[in-house]
């Protein structure tokens, strides 16, 4: 195939992926595939074999996605600025989840120290959050 046609193919593919990212936000996956296509378009001038270009595009796409995931801060865990108080609504067994009343709302919670059980109606500190699960510690643990 003509190298100029391949170059324009990769430029068009890159543009399609970048525009798709604007329309369907996917956490930059399509954007990274578009950037990879632009890189392959530049390389296609000196590397005219289409199957090698496809493999290069796939490898670049995966490598850029993995690299971005490593430098991106984790969303699953977030620290609360100050330890807030809550009250357990259910008993929380060691390593299990239970319910706490936090800021007037019932939340799923687990103890940060997985070897500790917390009885119902106990005051606890909220020290973190993982998604919709609060991470708590009994007040006795922090006072000692």
Q: What digits encode the pLDDT tens for the residues 14-68? A: 999 999 988 887 778 899 999 999 999 999 989 989 999 999 999 999 999 898 8
Q: What's residue 76's pLDDT? A: 47
Q: Taking Cα atoms as reference points, which of 83, 85, 88, 122 lies closest to residue 108?
A: 88
For the chain, give the mean pLDDT.
87
Q: What's residue 84's pLDDT? A: 85
Q: What's residue 71's pLDDT? A: 84
Q: What's residue 142's pLDDT? A: 66
Q: Which two tokens stand for residue 103?
A: 């800021």
Q: Which residues contact 140 (CB under 8 A, 6 or more apart)?
A: none
Q: What digits encode the pLDDT tens for the residues 73-118? A: 665 444 445 558 999 999 999 989 999 999 888 999 999 988 889 9
Q: What's residue 24's pLDDT? A: 82
Mean pLDDT of 111-137: 91
Q: What domains can you pick out in the chain, each with its CATH number?
A: 3-71 (no CATH), 77-143 (2.40.50.140)
Phi, psi (deg, nearest 5) at residue 20: -60, -35
């Amino acid at each position: 195939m003509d190298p100029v046609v391949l170059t324009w193919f990769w430029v068009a593919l890159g543009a399609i992926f970048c525009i798709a990212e604007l329309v369907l936000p996917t956490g930059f996956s399509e954007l990274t595939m578009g950037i990879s296509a632009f890189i392959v378009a530049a390389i296609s001038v000196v590397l005219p074999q289409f199957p090698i270009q496809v493999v290069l595009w796939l490898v670049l796409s995966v490598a850029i996605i993995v690299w971005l995931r490593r430098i991106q801060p984790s969303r699953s865990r977030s620290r609360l600025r100050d330890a807030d108080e809550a009250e357990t609504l259910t008993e929380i067994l060691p390593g299990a989840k239970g319910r706490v009343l936090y800021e007037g709302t019932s939340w799923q919670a687990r103890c940060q120290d997985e070897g500790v059980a917390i009885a119902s109606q106990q005051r606890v500190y909220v020290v973190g959050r993982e998604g919709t699960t609060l991470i708590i510690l009994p007040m006795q643990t922090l006072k000692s």
